Structures are given as structure tokens and as C-alpha cells.
């Protein structure tokens, strides 16, 4: 059990829970010597503990730390609890993930959606250059924050399902068929694992979701979802939204081709194809590390013609969600029950407004 205000590793003063999901729980903390805020990710205490689980948890940190890119969230260190269990030390981001943004705003303006995916492409290209397959790209794992110059900045988060191309035997297990994940068709087949083309497929599926407000293949039942994915029949984006240009829809369809050989060869190639449809002057950063200090402004949302959008105050930021919540000492995202951070994690479920994807 870990308590609020406890000092871990003589460095990290715990503050409050800011995210909780199926596998982990994320806590805001301060590095007492450096005075900087960080996010600490712990394994959930109500989940089974095995050597393999701990090994994969540490491996997530080791894999992510290799990638130094403005569009990939930084993992700073691996710490140890008094019982030896590991926890990850990550940069503390301000903003929200794109899944929360969709829930709040609905489908995004085409230029905004494309801009965010192009930034994600920059992060994916960097991870692929390091021989890493993310394996779980979706709106909930793309975090929208703000760069130092005030522009929206998207970062790729959560490498818990990542694989290394050089060590496929050490990578993630195949997709769990007990649920209905929206993943590339080769991830559903027994003969193949995720590869770079799988991440391209996921980028296309994410762009489809940002543009339409729904997943391209997700159905009510898992079997129906798998059959839709394997069929490769992509719903017509142009029929869903008149303002979507046919060439943009064709790019999404190419990403979602059932045959990996028909997809874009790389994330960089996909980004170049999307460039004409993105916000002018919004080229993704390819190097360096951004240090956002405030939440990004709310992007434009798509509104049905028969219903006008309600005015949004200029100083309103997207709601906190996911791994890193809005940075506010006066109004914390989640109150820690009974002064305990990790105990009774079920109290920090989706009912608290936190998305479950740790």
C-alpha cells in the first residue's frame, strides 16, 4: 500500500491519483530535490502479480526511454517500492488524450484531425527507427498537450504493448480475443505478429475515428468486429461527412487495407501524403523535447448543420483524462480516498471521469 505524501526512493513526494486503468494506476508526484512534477505509474494492486508482469512493466520503461522525440512521451526512470516492485517515472503532461477530446467535442475538423495524425506519424517514425513497434495506437494513446510556442502538440503514450523487431520472441503476446479490440488484421491471424505496417493500419483507423467519431470496424460483438476487420471493407468517410475530400478518404482506406503490402511503406510516407490536408504551418517536430506548461486550446469541432455549436470560452481547455490530467493544485482530478493512493483502486474507475487505459 502506498500513502499520499509518502516519499518514494527518497525523491518522489506523492500527491494524487490522476489516472487508472485495467493494468496500472498513475499518480502525480514531485521530485523533491529538483522541484519538478512527474507522473508515476504503478501496477494495480488488485491485479495478479507474476514475474512476467513485472518484467514487462520494466521493459515498457526500457523501450520507451530509447526514443527521444517531441512526439513521444518521455520515460525518465524506473523506481522501486519498498517490496521491490517497480514503478515508472514519466514526464507530467498537461492536456487530454484524443479519446477524451472526441467524447467532449465530437468529430474533429478535418485539418485538426490530419494535423494530429501527422504529429503521431513523427513519433511512430521515430519508434520504428529504433526498432520498436507500438502495437496499440488509438485515440486514447495519443495525448494532446501544448508546445512551448503555444501550438497543439500530440505525444504518443503507453508502450505497454510494444514489441522490438530485433527480439520478436520477447515482444507482446498475440491479441487477447476475449474482448473486441480494433487492431490490424494480421494481429488477429495466428501466423503473424504486429509489425510496422500494423502501426500504419492503426494510424489510419485512428484518423478515421477522429474524422467520423466512431471506429471503422467496431461492432456490438467481438466476432463481428473481427470479421469486419478481416474483410478489409472500409466504410465510406465521404458519405459520413460531405466536407471530407475523396483523396483524404482514399489515404485512410489505403492505411486500412487488409493486405499489409498495399498500405503506406512508412509513417513518414503517410505523413507526406496527408500534408495537403493539414493545418498550414503545422509541420510536426521531428527532434527535441517539448516542455508544455499549460493545456492546449480546444480545437475546432464538427457540428451538424441543424444544430449550432454552443459558444466555448477562449480559456476553456479540454477536460483532463488518461495518464496525465490537468495540472491544478486547487482542483485535483481525483481525490485520494482515506489518504491512500493505491489502495481501493476501484474507486478511481470510469465513474470518476478518468479513462481506463493505463
Q: For residues 321 and 318, what is the distance between their CA atoms, to the nearest angstrom? A: 9
Nearest to 19 by CA among 49, 46, 39, 3: 39
Q: For residues 162 and 133, what is the distance between their CA atoms, to the nearest angstrom? A: 5
Q: Which of 136, 158, 199, 327 does the annotation list as catalytic?
A: 136
- What phi-psi label fits residue 288: left (phi over 0), alpha (psi between -120 and 50 degrees) or beta? left
Q: For residues 107 and 243, what is the distance between their CA atoms, to the nearest angstrom? A: 12
Cα 75 to Cα 50, 91, 119, 276: the distances in Å are 23, 6, 19, 33
Cα angle for residues 121, 264, 244 (degrees, 5° grid): 75
Instruction: Tell me how far the alpha carbon of residue 243 is from its chain's centroid.
Output: 27
| Beta-sheet pairing, 142-146 with 37-43 | unpaired
Q: Which residues contact 294 (CB under 8 A, 6 or more apart)?
A: 94, 146, 317
Known catalytic residue at 136: yes
Nearest to 23 by CA among 2, 66, 52: 52
- SS3 state of residue 142: strand
Residues with a known catalytic role: 136
Amino acid at each position: 500500500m502506498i500513502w499520499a505524501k509518502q516519499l518514494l526512493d527518497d525523491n518522489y513526494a506523492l500527491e494524487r491519483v490522476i489516472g487508472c486503468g485495467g493494468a496500472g494506476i498513475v499518480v502525480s508526484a514531485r521530485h523533491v530535490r529538483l522541484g519538478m512534477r512527474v507522473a508515476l505509474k504503478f501496477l494495480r494492486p488488485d491485479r495478479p502479480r507474476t514475474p512476467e508482469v513485472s518484467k514487462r512493466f520494466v521493459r515498457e520503461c526500457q523501450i520507451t526511454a530509447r526514443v527521444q522525440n517531441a512526439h513521444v512521451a518521455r520515460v525518465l526512470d524506473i523506481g522501486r517500492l519498498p517490496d521491490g516492485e517497480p514503478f515508472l517515472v514519466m514526464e507530467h503532461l498537461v492536456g487530454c488524450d484524443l479519446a477524451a477530446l472526441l467524447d467532449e467535442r465530437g468529430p474533429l475538423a478535418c485539418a485538426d484531425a490530419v494535423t494530429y495524425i501527422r504529429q503521431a506519424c513523427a513519433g511512430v517514425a521515430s519508434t520504428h527507427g529504433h526498432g520498436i513497434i507500438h502495437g496499440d495506437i488509438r485515440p486514447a494513446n495519443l495525448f494532446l498537450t501544448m508546445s512551448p510556442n503555444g501550438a497543439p502538440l500530440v505525444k504518443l503514450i503507453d508502450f505497454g504493448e510494444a514489441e522490438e523487431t530485433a527480439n520478436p520472441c520477447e515482444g507482446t503476446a498475440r491479441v487477447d480475443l476475449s474482448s473486441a479490440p480494433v487492431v490490424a488484421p494480421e494481429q488477429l491471424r495466428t501466423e503473424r505478429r504486429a509489425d510496422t505496417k500494423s502501426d500504419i493500419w492503426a494510424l489510419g483507423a485512428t484518423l478515421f475515428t477522429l474524422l467520423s467519431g466512431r471506429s471503422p470496424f467496431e461492432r456490438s460483438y467481438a466476432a463481428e468486429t473481427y470479421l469486419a476487420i478481416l474483410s478489409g471493407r472500409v466504410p465510406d468517410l465521404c458519405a459520413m461527412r460531405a466536407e471530407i475530400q475523396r483523396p483524404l478518404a482514399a489515404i485512410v482506406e489505403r492505411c486500412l487495407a487488409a493486405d499489409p503490402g498495399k498500405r503506406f511503406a512508412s509513417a513518414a510516407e503517410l505523413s507526406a501524403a496527408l500534408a495537403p490536408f493539414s493545418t498550414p504551418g503545422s509541420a510536426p517536430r521531428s527532434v527535441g523535447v517539448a516542455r508544455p506548461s499549460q493545456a492546449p486550446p480546444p480545437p475546432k469541432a464538427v457540428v451538424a448543420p441543424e444544430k449550432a455549436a454552443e459558444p466555448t470560452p477562449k480559456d476553456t481547455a479540454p477536460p483532463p483524462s488518461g495518464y496525465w490530467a490537468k495540472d491544478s493544485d486547487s482542483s485535483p482530478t481525483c481525490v485520494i480516498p482515506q489518504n491512500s493512493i493505491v489502495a481501493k483502486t476501484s474507486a478511481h474507475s470510469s465513474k470518476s471521469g478518468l479513462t481506463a487505459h493505463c
